[in-house]
Structure 1
Amino acid sequence: MPPALADLTASARVVALPMHTRFRGVDTREALLFEGPEGWAEFSPFVEYDDDEAATWLAAAIDFAWRPQPAPLRDRIPVNATIPAIDAARVPEVLERFAGCRTAKVKVAEPGRTLADDVARVRAVREAMGPEGRIRIDANGAWNVDEAEHAVHALAEFDLEYVEQPCATVAELAELRTRVKYMGIPVAADESVRKSSDPLAVARAKAADLLVIKAQPLGGITHALQIVTAAGLPVVVSSALDTAVGLSQGAALAAALPTLDHDCGLGTASLFVDDVADRRPVDGAIPAERVIPDPAALTRLAASAERREWWLDRLRRCHEVLDRRD
């Protein structure tokens, strides 16, 4: 059974974090934080998600705050830089915020941007990082199979580490993977895992070479590790544009993996102007330990009274969903 709603609201703080650059339509990232017996946790499903989907994020937060977590196998997590769908000229400025990162994930296929824009952005990343840097691209399922194949061909000259969620459906991913396999560019699945009622479908269909996993959308660290074991594929742990508190949950997941062969998408604190604690990368990595929010930052970044009430009402509704599930 989840803890009582009063146990969650007693310490609840709603924060609004300003971003350096608009990212996937977000200028300010809102989150609800609360403290349990094990420490602080984050509840931050995107505002457009319905209560049923958002309740899984709440289950993850409760798990992190109320239950002991798997033992860590490492204390530092290597992370990638994240490049929003910006003009190519701004790439060096953004990369400078990701100290020591040897890998960059570049957003592509953004509404209002063209493939030529994507090519220019990826080229600028390659020029800035040099031949030894790793580049992965993320389309968030925006292409159909033909568009994705064309884009992969256009971007292949930049020596891609992998292409993340190029198409929306498992069937499309499987077809694209067949089409581009000769090029040696792996396909990664993200939304096909975290937004699916069957997160293992992509593995059964052989539709991806690796999985991108996120602690909050998958209901917590233990459940995410079960998915990794059952899928039998390499994984990259990533964030959902979390605050430093949520990033520490992602880091705990990455720290508990039996193997960690890829830099993780947990360096996104560098996208924020301010945060509840400092989890920006240092020497290309972040620590795996839990975050304790800075009280002054919680006050400084507090959301408006109206937004606080919106989040508390959402918390109440999602808590009811979890009660019904149990």
Structure 2
Amino acid sequence: MSDSNATDFTNPSTFILLGIPGLEAAHVWISIPFCTMYAIAILGNFTILFIVKTKSSLHVPMYYFLCMLAVTDLVLTTSTLPKMLSIFWFNSREIDFSACLTQMYFIHCSLEMESGILVAMAFDRYVAICDPLRHSTILTNPVVSKIGLAVMLRGCIVVLPLLILARQWPYCRTNIIPQPYCAHIAVVNLACADIRVSSYFGLFVLFCVMGLDVIFITVSYIQILRAVFSLPTKDVQLKTFGTCSSHIFVILAFYIPGLFISLMYRFGHNVALHFHVLIANVYLLMPPMLNPIIYGVRTKEIQGRLLRLFTHDES
């Protein structure tokens, strides 16, 4: 009888998502800022897409990449927040095994794609500042499309082994995930097997794939700074570098918390579990919420279009 039960549990039909362990009584209150952040992320990113689509002067590589970032952020938030809110509001904790792995795949795919898009945006800024006369010939629409396709394929392919490995592990410890969504390391930690392959591949994706992205971005900005400092006056230097300010803020909002979260999960064993989970949730929501705000505040073209929308001036 016990053998039969163990065999049945090896491939669980469902996982149980606990939400924020230890803070269950405050789930309704916690849901308020989370729901607000989700609403801002959805509204902000759809606004970016609408503005770029309707304003022909924004049909340039920088804004095409911004649209790719907006779509990626929408996928990331929509793959996590609806289920998270159903846990907070309705105590709907069960998630199908396949649905859990699908959610895990979309989360990590979106994060990889976002990293790749930030590299593409850094390349765009590099060409625009260091070789402005050739910008329109280097970053043509077909080239931008190929870059977008490459970023998407890289994200899908790199994360696929994580999904395959997670699916093949035997799960015979428990089916309870102490989180409100299916993160890779939280799922594979439930396996009753040696999961070092999954853990090492996860670290490979973090440090080698996303780490290379950080190196490419850093090299691009070193070249950008050299070009900026070679300009004749301070005003021109500030104005030129100001075109990169939105991108820099977005980079910092994405990479620094992400690195902190990944290291905390693997090495911060003395940190309270509810703090782990809260920080991880905020990290998933913060960039999708902040990205459209940053670009809306820092980009005059988007500001102008927003003002015309609110004042009903279509000129």
TM-score, normalised via structure 2 length: 0.27
Higher helix share goes to which structure?
2
Which structure has more relative contact order (CA 8 Å, sep 6+)? It is: 2
TM-score, normalised via structure 1 length: 0.26
Q: Which structure has the greater CA radius of gyration?
A: 2
